[in-house]
A and B are shown apart, each in its own frame.
Chain A
Amino acid sequence: MPVQSTAAPARAGSRLCVRCGERKAALKRPKTLEQICRECFYIVFEDEIHRTIVDNNLFKAGERVAIGASGGKDSTVLAYVLSELNKRHNYGLDLFLLSIDEGITGYRDDSLETVKRNEIQYGLPLKIVSYKDLYDWTMDDIVKAIGLKNNCTFCGVFRRQALDRGAALLKVDKIVTGHNADDIAETVLLNILRGDIARLSRCTFITTGEDGPIPRCKPFKYTYEKEIVIYPLHDIFQSILRCIYSPNAYRGFAREFIKDLERMRPRAILDIITSGENFRISTTTRMPEQGTCERCGYISSQKLCKACVLLEGLNRGLPKLGIGRTAKSGAGADGNGERQGKRPERNRSSLHGKHGNLDF
């Protein structure tokens, strides 16, 4: 057996893969700290996602499933892996790509090009729904009307609903999103920081909205972002675009904190998810009651859903309607102060949409 004769610090790829013992290791897996080669990495990466899908019964044969596709790395890898696993393991799924066009010139129009390429590469039908069609406002128009403050609120609220509406048009049974383990750990922390107990208790669920019309699930719940970035390294979609409007600074802090922790102890990401899963919410905590919006019928814990309140503000030239932690606008302004006062946390928390990803 050949021996590495020099005692010098390991030069690139001088150690062998712990899995096959034949090829040179190319990656240190954050989850296990194992050193593995690229070929074995593809196998374990895809196998783990398959196991997550099977162990959590994410899909049933014959289901129609929409992949929320932003053109970013996560949803692009998800679309590829899911279409491969569907063929390899005969899930029997009808897969679709579903994209939201927020109407941000120079940002979304570019990333939609990626999605259109994926449509051809992976042979998955693509549906694009736009804010313009759904709300008659593009994000460019909204920013012109309200400026650069709070625009992420509009974008986040509208996007969540747009994804559901697009899914309804496609008549799918489920939506999958590319949220990864880092995203979920970050969201656990953010919900703690905001005191958002309702979201804290559900943000670690691998499937949400099972009581609603279209459940959503996250096959990458246990997949590290590092591995998602490395997975397609030689593919063409390494250009990652940044929204031109706003950085969502608070989430940025949480993100950086997670990455700092990961450097010191990569397991921290999975451990935060485990902590989130195992929180027990005190029985005296008031939780929002889910109902439906009186105007559009969308799921809402208020009389009017957030999107309708925001839209009303835009159309009446009062864009501050529904913005801000003390806002009791929309539903509150129409009366029913008693329901409002009961759930102050709901108003506050729904203001923060995740930036860059579909959904939040």
Chain B
Amino acid sequence: MLPTPSTSHVPYARVYEPAEDSFLLLDTLSAPSETAFLATRFPITTTPNPLSPTPTPTTTTPSLSPSPTPLILEIGPGSGVVLAFLTAHAHTLFSRRDVLTLGIDVNRFACAATRETVRRAVRDDALPLEVGAEAASGAGVGVGAGLGTGAGYHLGTAQGDLVGAVRAGSVDVLVFNPPYVPTPELPSMYQQGGEGEGGGQATTTTTTAAAYEEDSRLLALSYAGGRDGMEITDRLIEALPEVLSSRGVAYLLLCAQNKPEEVKGRIRGLEGGLWQAETVGTSGKQAGWEKLQIVRIWRE
């Protein structure tokens, strides 16, 4: 088991607290089937990593032939627990540590929280392990444990609406734990009573009631998904053909009310005709139904 990043500093009154869905993403992305898939998808064709547990013997002189660095984007990272996990354990998860990670969240507090969660997780990765702490688990110990050498590179976080500000064709791994709960309506992306014109200073909330309203709006943004809980997710799915690179992969979390089989069908019908969508992780069986699942989306 790889350590779960600490999120004790995150203000849970206005930022989604890691829950079953977050942990399902961590479990799925660190499962052997997914790390094997990602290693094949983003092969490093270069110098064997000296930190690799079993460096492949090579007779040729190592050379730095390029293998394009993957860009990992999480939409709606919230507390940052998933993005921090991906960044801190990059070498274990992607079989390479030259990965870039970026987070985009509609909630500015989540952007700040994510940046801090990633910073702490990368720092903790660099701390020497306590003697014997993970000795028994053997292979579970991160590569370079105690040396802090397994972490990737965090670009930062930005406030925004899904992938609207992301350059076409640039994302190699996209992770989205969406607002998936069916709700009668969607919360506003803008602060109520504030100027809300994306860019100015946040309006100072003067009353406790107003502050509570604002916190409720921010939390609602993290879970409220409108019709079938799919209104936000459908917008992201429609943007995938443009934003993913040709080797790009997306991991999307769905709940049973999202009608996941229909969603997978829609994805397979996206423009281009080569789209694959498979369930690669599930949790929370209820009456024979998987409550949550992770769908991997890619082009063959």
A and B are partners in one complex rather than unrelated chains:
no
Task: List B residues at the A interface (Cβ < 8 Å).
Answer: none
